[in-house]
Amino acid sequence: MRLPIYLDCNATTPVDERVFDAMKPYFTEIFGNAASTGHVFGMAARTAVNAARASVAAALNVSPEEIVFTSGATESDNLAIKGVARVRGGGHIITTTIEHKAVLDPCRCLAQEGCRVTYLTVDRDGFIDLDALSSALSDDTILVSIVHGNNEIGTIQDLAAIGAICRARGVPLHTDATQTIGKLPFDAQALQVDLASLTAHKMYGPKGVGALYVRRSCAVSPIIDGGGHEGGLRSGTLNVPGIVGLGKALDVAVQDLDRDIAHTRALRDQLWHCLRQLAPKLKINGPDPVQQPDRRLPNNLHVSIGGFEGDLMAAALCDVAVSSRSACTSGSNEPSHVLTAIGTPTDGVTSFRFGIGRTTTQDEVDYVVRQLTSALTTA
């Protein structure tokens, strides 16, 4: 075992060697522009993009023509939310208080342009109330955008139930599925989702590439103009190596899905069992992994601890990469909007998000437990 240890896989993941090997030829050998289909170099690139598009579509149980490649989930979220709003000329949007900023900020932008936005509250585990969603829908509702798996506290919303409500009312449903696609089964048809955002770097693929699923019947206006690429929805020269990496990452994720879920969940549960014995005042944020294993991301553990113990834990984890802070949004002094939304105190509290990964080992989890045991039992 080598230090430091990486346990922040909800932030990003290392590129899987199988993904990297698939990408390498498209940097130096098959380097053509996928839009230059008048020669073999461009056609080879286009063929690779089409194969990746088919892989992404198969993983989501949709048609390849419904996949739009982007620079990542943030762009996908913006394209979905702004694209629907602008093609409809404004209207009412429903979202939640625990969305990623890539959803909240576009909603705020549209509110300044005249859209009406409803923010659904959540309970202490981060779940929305389905009756509240139904009540919020109105004749002018043009879009519902609800995260599938929360990146901080791991809450998995009942997307199938949400999709059924929206479909019955004829309202498109968008979901930021950044944390779930590639980590959990995702069938867009069964979930009745109309738009879904994803990114490669959360599933052992490269950074800077993602996709948006757009149901064929869902009208979306582009937010980037200049060439009409991706069926006119996203102009710009295609990132062929990145797109190949995204397709391969999803192929591998589907192939290894059951094994990855079992592996990350087992190590996560072991870590939670040890932590709650070591620190009685420690509070889990989001659904309890033991009581609600299927309602939380299998690799995610988010805990808060107050006072001196928080400082001790932070010191003990100095050579372990986790998301660790005094419950503030990175780069600002504001409390985490997610923790605030679920009613978790933030004053004098330190939060830790552990993100177990495909390559996390038993020895690494044992080391974390030993470090925390030593710190908290000798204080």
- pLDDT tens profile 101-111: 999 999 999 99
Alpha-carbon separation of residue 181 from 111, 138, 155, 202, 312 (angstroms): 29, 30, 14, 9, 35
Q: Which residues pair with 149 in a beta bridge?
A: 156
Q: How far is CA 234 from the centre of its chain?
A: 21
User: Residue 147: CB partners within 8 Å, gap ≥ 6?
Assistant: 96, 98, 99, 100, 103, 157, 175, 176, 179
3-state class percentages of the chain: helix first, strand second, coil last, to nearest 5 = 45, 20, 40
328 assigned to active site: yes
How confident is the model at residue 232, as a pLDDT?
86
- Asked, as a colleague might, if the bond just before 280 is cis with ω within 30 of 0, I would say no
Residues 60-73: pLDDT tens digits? 999 999 999 999 99
Would residue 332 be called left, alpha or beta, if left means φ above 0 and alpha means ψ between -120 and 50 degrees? beta
Joined tokens for residue 318: 């100095």
Query: In this predicted structure, what is the pLDDT of residue 328?
Result: 47
- Contact predicate 339/304, CB 8 Å: yes
Contact in structure between 202 and 149 (CB atoms under 8 Å): no
Name the pairing type of β-strands 210-214 and 141-145: unpaired
- All structural domains of the chain, each given as residue ranges with its CATH number in brackets, are 5-12+257-377 (3.90.1150.10), 17-252 (3.40.640.10)
Most distant CA pair in the chain: distance in Å?
A: 71
pLDDT at 65: 98
In eight-state DSSP terms, residue 359 is T
In this structure, the strands spanning 283-284 and 323-325 are: unpaired
Residue 379's pLDDT is 61
Q: Which residues of the chain have pLDDT under 50?
A: 326-328
> Which runs of E-coded beta strand occur in the chain?
5-6, 67-70, 92-96, 116-120, 141-145, 173-176, 195-199, 210-214, 283-284, 300-306, 320-321, 323-325, 349-355
Catalytic residue among 9, 107, 274, 328: 328
SS3 164: helix
Helix (H) or strand (E) holding 229: none
